[in-house]
Amino acid sequence: MQSLIMQALNVKSEINPKEEIRKRIDFLKNYLLKTKAKGYVLGISGGQDSTLAGRLVQLAVEEFRQEGNDALFIAVRLPYGVQQDEADAVRAMNFIRADREYIFNIKGAVDSVEAEYNAVTSGEPLSDYHKGNVKARMRMIAQYAFGGMEGLLVIGTDHAAEAVTGFYTKYGDGGADVLPLSGLTKRQGKALLKELGAEEQLYLKVPTADLLDKKPGQADETELGITYDDIDDYLEGKLVSKEIAEKIEQRYQATEHKRQLPATMFDQWWK
């Protein structure tokens, strides 16, 4: 099962960070060339994944322009109110140096969804957990508003360690057009950021979905009950305990629907 998953998610046991950076920038440029899209848009949280994806995209559009084409990258901060780790988001923006920057506060929109849900239902109010997924989906909506208006494609930050666990919101941060980090483990992403000259704080930061009002900045590893080191070891083909392998494989199977198009009666994958 381990090698099948590695293959399905395009993971390599070892990478050369310089080469990976080159290949991913080329991919971003080739995709613009092929689709004639005008560039890209991405939400920047201050976390590792959007910092890496954002910098790769900025480098790609700069090269693309130097080669005589037009391209634009919009980086947008999408806080819910005031983000507790705002300083990291600012740090990430400064590292990425995007062509254009915005701050789009999702609080008004998310709170409206919550209030309307609570007004029209008589049962339990919208839980913190499900409100968290509304936040992730609102960020997707905001990015597509910029993308639609400017002819830009939405970048997603999904990578192998998130893909294998399905640890993202379906049609939230999972809703995107182009995935430049696909196939990388979390530690391989760190190595790319280091190679790109990012300061330590940007890649040693504890990964967090940061979606809960009641637990701001909760570590992904706390919610997952598995460490990224273990997930990365598994994905890189290393030996992990039977218990860890089973946990990962159970999550992989339970989240298959997130890696597929919506189910139809003609599909085989869910049967």
Ligand X SMILES: Nc1ncnc2c1ncn2[C@@H]1O[C@H](COP(=O)(O)OP(=O)(O)OC[C@H]2O[C@@H]([n+]3cccc(C(=O)O)c3)[C@H](O)[C@@H]2O)[C@@H](O)[C@H]1O
* Contact present, 173 and 162 (Cβ < 8 Å): no
Residue 40, classed as helix, strand or coil, is strand
**Footprint of ligand X on residues 160-199 (CB under 6 A)?**
167-170, 172-173
- Supply the minimum distance, in Å, between the C-beta of residue 13 and ligand X: 24
- The binding track of 124-153 with respect to ligand X, each residue x by CB under 6 A or -, is ---------x--x-----------------
Q: Which residues bind ligand ATP (CB under 6 A)?
A: 42-45, 47-50, 77-79, 83, 139, 157, 173, 207-210
Q: Cβ-count burial of 149 within 10 angstroms (0-12 exposed, 13-18 middle, 19+ buried)?
A: exposed
φ and ψ at 102, to 5 degrees? -140, 160
Contact 84, 194 (CB under 8 A): no
Residue 185 labeled ligand binder: no
The whole-angstrom distance between residue 81's C-alpha and the CA centroid of its chain comes to 20
Structural contact between residues 235 and 148, judged by C-beta atoms closer than 8 angstroms: no
Nearer to ligand X by Cβ, of 147 and 156: the residue is: 156
Quickly count: other Cβ atoms within 10 Å of residue 83's Cβ: 19
Is residue 47 near Mg ion by the rule CB under 5 A?
Answer: yes
Q: How far is it, in rounded angstroms, from Cα 95 to Cα 51? A: 8
Tally the residues of the chain: 271
Count of residues interacting with ligand X (CB under 6 A): 14
Catalytic residue IDs: 49, 162
**Partner that binds at residue 158, options Mg ion, ligand ATP, ligand X, none, CB closer than 5 to 8 Å by kind:** none
48 touches which of ligand ATP, ligand X, Mg ion, none (CB within 5 to 8 A by kind)? ligand ATP
Provide the annotated binding site.
Answer: 43-50, 137, 157, 162, 170, 177, 186, 208, 257-258
Provide the annotated binding site for ATP.
Answer: 43-50, 157, 186, 208
Provide the annotated binding site for Mg(2+).
Answer: 49, 162
Q: Which residues would be at the binding site for ligand X (CB under 6 A)?
A: 133, 136, 167-170, 172-173, 209, 211, 220, 223, 257, 263
